[in-house]
Amino acid sequence: MKTVVSFSGGRTSAYMLKMLLDRGQDIIPVFANTGKERIETLDFVRDCGIQWGVHITWLEWRLGVDFDSYAIVTHETASRNGEPFEALINKANHTPGVRVRWCTDKLKIRVIRRYLNDLYSYKIPKDTQIAIGIREDERKRANNGGDTRAFKSVYPLVAAGITKDIVDEYWRNSPFDLKLDSNAGNCDLCFLKAKGKLVDLLRKRPEAANWWIDMEERTNSTFSARHSYKDLLAMSKLPLKFDVEEGGGVSCFCTD
């Protein structure tokens, strides 16, 4: 049985990858880069491959002649300024949103599926499954971790009872680590983050809002029905305190 490992580039999914490697499972590690991942995330994905001696396939969405396609990239050639995501938004002439998260579907799920179709000449083994990095203490996210359509979703960390404390302890004792605060996440200012987290992140890096504001103004649409990124940037400049969980937050296939 082949297990496709959806490696988001975060500590949890990296722990899952290492666990499956140590078990000797037959895996295909895949990292789908949207172009909006943090530089630290790209470095971490590279380091995991080097430190653990595993080949991780880097993929990015591309617009084909008349269909969605993909490209195989590397740490050196991977997009760093949102190019795949921006091209997709330009094609749709609208931003994705909480209710219609086509960014995850097109930039990650479909890209991985198309890669596997090519890898197996459109004869993907029926027992192929995709492993998603969700822990036991967040098991409720496993119910809506993303519709992979062609594959059965499995959650190895839930099955193994792995919690955040276990993951954190592992990385405290690791010779390398992701150089990001856990609140930052992998996708730069992802609209699925809680409003309080986004405001907190913008206080530290206000320039990060530029790309998101540009996408909203270009398409005359917003990623959230409740606020624009221009609104969030304005909030970050006010002397107000926001709970980092304020505004909810939505789980996604793009896990940590």
Asked if residue 68 and residue 124 are part of one domain, the reply reads: yes
The domain of 206 spans 189-249
Give the single-character DSSP code of 37. Answer: B
Give the single-character DSSP code of 109. Answer: I
DSSP string across 173-191:
TSSS---S-TTT-SBTT-T
Mean pLDDT confidence for 172-187: 87
Beta strand ranges found along the chain (DSSP E): 3-6, 27-32, 57-63, 68-73, 129-132, 152-154
Determine the Cα–Cα distance for residues 1 and 128; give it in Å rounded to an integer: 6
Asked if residue 225 and residue 112 are part of one domain, the reply reads: no
Q: What's the pLDDT at 55?
A: 97
Number of domains in the chain: 2
Asked if residue 206 and residue 79 are part of one domain, the reply reads: no
pLDDT band per the 50, 70, 90 thresholds, residue 145: very low
Q: What's the pLDDT at 44?
A: 97
* 193 within domain boundaries: yes
* 179 within domain boundaries: no
Asked if residue 139 and residue 24 are part of one domain, the reply reads: yes
pLDDT band per the 50, 70, 90 thresholds, residue 143: low
What is the CA 231 to chain-centroid distance, rounded? 24
Q: What's the pLDDT at 147?
A: 47
Q: What's the pLDDT at 117?
A: 93
Asked if residue 136 and residue 202 are part of one domain, the reply reads: no
Asked if residue 201 and residue 114 are part of one domain, the reply reads: no
Phi, psi of 4 (to 5 degrees): -85, 125
Asked if residue 235 and residue 204 are part of one domain, the reply reads: yes
* The pair of three-digit structure tokens given for residue 84, joined into one six-digit string: 């795949």
* The pair of three-digit structure tokens given for residue 231, joined into one six-digit string: 């609104």
* 254 within domain boundaries: no
Mean pLDDT of the chain: 90
Find, among 248, 13, 20, the residue nearest to 135 by Cα: 13
Determine the Cα–Cα distance for residues 19 and 6; give it in Å rounded to an integer: 14
* 177 within domain boundaries: no
Residue 245 in this model has a pLDDT that exceeds 70: no
- Predicted model pTM: 0.90
Q: What is the pLDDT of residues 23-56, one digit of tens each?
A: 999 999 999 999 999 999 999 999 999 999 999 9
Rg (CA), the chain: 18
Asked if residue 136 and residue 214 are part of one domain, the reply reads: no
Q: What's the pLDDT at 127?
A: 87
Asked if residue 193 and residue 161 are part of one domain, the reply reads: no
Asked if residue 148 and residue 21 are part of one domain, the reply reads: yes
* 178 within domain boundaries: no
Asked if residue 206 and residue 165 are part of one domain, the reply reads: no
Residue 20 in this model has a pLDDT that exceeds 90: yes
Asked if residue 143 and residue 107 are part of one domain, the reply reads: yes
pLDDT band per the 50, 70, 90 thresholds, residue 140: confident
Mean pLDDT confidence for 46-68: 93
